[in-house]
Amino acid sequence: MKFSIVILFFISIHGLGQIKFEGYTSYFNIKTNIPDSVTWVITKEHLQGHKSTRVNKFHSSEGRQNLKRDYHNSGYDQGHNSPYDDNYYSDKVEFECFDYVNMFPQLHILNGGVWEKLEDHCRKLAIQYGECKVKTSWEGIDKKIGIDSVLVPVYCIKEIWFNGTYERYKMPNKDTVKLHDFTYYKF
């Protein structure tokens, strides 16, 4: 009982909440309106199975605030942490990946460029080794967008584990990210 009270106190003080969906787990922070991190596992079986039709229905569930207006005309993509291409193995999982607890603002040059290439790399590893465990997070505050003050990260981070190997990538959420391939950001 005491342990539960301590956890609830920590969540209320820090604004963190674990939100578990079938395809991923988000550690959403209500103070920043973005997840502190999102974790999931890509499997070869999921990638080679059913493929749902992408519907792009961004939404908020369970009474959480809908942040669509914050992204509108902000210059930032609704950057998936756990991307559609890792979540199309069922219609339910695909729908859940479009929840705002799985997004943070990313410039399109990052989201549709170098970050997307890193996502492809993770899927290739999952096919080669059977699975790839992934965690996204962020570092630094650039600014906030919209009336709900959605935090824009300075750096977007992706950690991956596969076949006993660990890799970590840290990419700037800036136009300069296009100057290098994703492998440049590995450390």
Cα–Cα distance between 61 and 116 in angstroms, integer? 26
The CATH number of whichever domain residue 29 belongs to comes to 3.40.570.10
Q: 10 in a domain, yes or no?
A: no
Cα–Cα distance between 175 and 167 in angstroms, integer? 23
Biggest CA–CA distance in the chain, Å, is 52
State mean pLDDT over 48-76. 90
Q: 7 in a domain, yes or no?
A: no
Judged against a pLDDT cut of 70, whether residue 12 lies above it is answered with: no
Instruction: Answer for the pair 159, 167: CB distance below 8 angstroms, yes or no.
Output: yes
How many domains does the chain contain in total?
Answer: 1
Q: 126 in a domain, yes or no?
A: yes
Total residue length of the chain:
187
Q: 3 in a domain, yes or no?
A: no
Q: 163 in a domain, yes or no?
A: yes
Q: Which residues of 59-85 are buried (b: 16+ CB within 10 A; e: fewer)?
A: eeeeebeebeebbeeeebbbbbbbbbb
Q: What would the pLDDT profile of 118-172 be if each residue is shown by its tens digit?
A: 999 999 999 999 999 999 999 999 999 999 999 999 999 999 999 999 999 999 9
Q: What would the pLDDT profile of 103-129 be if each residue is shown by its tens digit?
A: 999 999 999 999 999 999 999 999 999
Q: 1 in a domain, yes or no?
A: no
Q: 11 in a domain, yes or no?
A: no
pLDDT score recorded for residue 15: 66
Cα–Cα distance between 160 and 63 in angstroms, integer? 31
Range of the domain at 156: 17-185
Q: 22 in a domain, yes or no?
A: yes
